[in-house]
Amino acid sequence: MKLSIVGVTGLVGSVILKVLEEKNISVSELIPVATEKSVGKEIIFNDKKYKVVGIEEAINKKPDFAIFSAGGNTSLKYAPKFAEQGTVVIDNSSAWRMDKTKKLIVPEINANILTEEDKIIANPNCSTIQLVMILAPLHKEFKIKRVVVSTYQSVSGSGIAAIEQMENERQNIEGKKKYPHQIDKNCIPHCDDFTENGYTKEEMKLINETHKILDDYNISLTATAVRIPVLGGHSESVNIEFEKNVNINKIKTIFANTKGIILQDDIENNIYPMPIIAHNKNDVFVGRIRKDFSQKNAINLWITADNLRKGAATNAVQILEFLL
């Protein structure tokens, strides 16, 4: 298998390499791609050195698969060029997610809809992936009516520049700012740009992508996305209202038996999901499951996941695994 990683030197790109190694996926030829300033640099994959090449050179090498993690503009411009020659593209950006002709995939939920005709496959937003992983099995069992989600998203979701801003602030070093405000010792209710309706793009991604992945546009969903001073791992507080009567023990049993979900719900021993636990793990962690006493057939729960892994790199590699 000839595999190209586009955006290999970025945060997600480097994690994709780690996940490929951990899963022992057989790659006969790796074609690492990055921006022009990184061309010629060496990366190590499976104890072997590879030189970073430009994207046009990668297209000419005709890889079987290409995993993109280089931003929406790069994906819009180059993914079709790879696809035209038969390369299957798995794209991490927002470029193709809401395109009606492209599939938006979380393998545990809807990989079965993929066909050989799908040459560009969209990877959902990090905060969406962990949310739908929890919603999908519950929707199947109890039919979801409404979801209210508040996210607590780590700085790594904004890339290297955001991590540097937080580290600089912790050391009282003046530097470039990724955010409009200080992030250390602070929470910023502002993930991505604001849209005309007062919601941010991140909040609208959660709403629109959830509808598409669950293939149900009747679910009422609203979101607030917040950036917090945590290095890695996104958390979400979720309120879910169902059409059917719900039983907390049954919900816990469903989660305990769902692949890719780790149930951590033992409040007597202070066991519940936290970003520090999810760090470097490929699963979605869920806990604090309890009835919402203010609403019929409703519950509250808490989710965490590593946004660079299941929220991005791991999900992309899982799509690749399914296709193989």
Active centre residues (catalytic): 126, 234
One-letter amino acid at 82 equals F
β 261-263/48-51 pair status? unpaired
**φ, ψ of residue 92 in degrees (nearest 5):** -85, -10
Residue 92 to residue 75: CA distance in whole angstroms: 9
Helix/strand/coil for 122? strand
Residue 88 to residue 103: CA distance in whole angstroms: 12
DSSP 188: B
Could you tell me which residues are beta bridge partners of residue 284? 261, 305
One-letter amino acid at 284 equals V
H or E stretch covering 145: strand 144-153
DSSP 157: G
Among residues 59, 69, 61, which one has the least CA distance to residue 5? 69
200: which 2 tokens?
A: 């941010």
105: which 2 tokens?
A: 């995939």
Tell me how far apart the terminal alpha carbons of the chain are, to the nearest angstrom: 9
